[in-house]
Amino acid sequence: MSTDAAKSQPAQREATARPAPRSELLPLPWKLHLTVLLIALVYPFVFPSSFMLNFGVLALFYAFIGQSWNIAGGFAGQLSFGHVAFFGVGAYAATIAQMRFGFSPWLGLPIAALAGALVGGIIGVLSFRAGLKGSYFALITLAFAEVLRIVSNSVSITGGGLGMLIPMKPGAVNLQFAERSGFYFLILVLVAISIALAEWLRRSKFGAQLAAIRENEDAAKALGINVFREKVKVMLLSGAIGGVGGCFFAQYFLYIDPLIAFGVDKSVEMLLVSMIGGAGTVYGPMVGALLLALVSDGTRALTQIQGLSLVLYGALLVIIIAYLPNGLIDLFARIKARFSKGRN
What is the per-residue pLDDT for 210? 96
> Do the domain assignments include residue 337?
no
Residue pLDDT, tens place only, 278-317 = 999 999 999 999 988 888 777 776 666 766 777 777 787 7
The reply to whether 312 falls in a domain is: no
Q: Is residue 236 part of a domain?
A: yes
Q: What is the pTM of this model?
A: 0.88
How many domains, the chain?
1
- Give the integer Cα–Cα distance in Å for 129 and 140: 13
Residues of the chain falling short of pLDDT 70: 1-28, 301-304, 306-307, 342-344
Domain membership of residue 25 (yes or no) is: no
CA distances from 115 to 47, 137, 273 (A): 35, 21, 24
Cα–Cα distance between 12 and 6 in angstroms, integer?
Answer: 10
**pLDDT (0 to 100) of residue 343:** 66
Residue 70: DSSP 8-state = I
Q: Examine residue 2 and state whether it is found in any structural domain, yes or no.
A: no
DSSP notation for 80-118: -S-THHHHHHHHHHHHHHHHTT---GGGHHHHHHHHHHH
Cross-strand pairs, 165 = 255
Question: Domain range for residue 192?
Answer: 51-263
- Give the per-residue pLDDT at 253: 95
**Residue 21 resides in a domain:** no
Count of CB atoms situated within 10 Å of the CB of 324: 15
CA distance 285 to 64: 8
Burial class (CB in 10 A: 0-12, 13-18, 19+), 269: buried
Is 97 domain-assigned? yes
- By percentage, how much of the chain surpasses pLDDT 90? 68
Residue at 336 is within a domain: no
Bridge-partner residues for 164, per DSSP? 256
Q: What is the pLDDT of residue 301?
A: 67
What is the per-residue DSSP string for 201-264?
HHHSHHHHHHHHHHH-HHHHHHTT--HHHHHHHHHHHHHHHHHHHHHHHHHHHSEE-HHHHH-H
Query: What local confidence, expressed as pLDDT, does residue 303 receive?
Result: 67
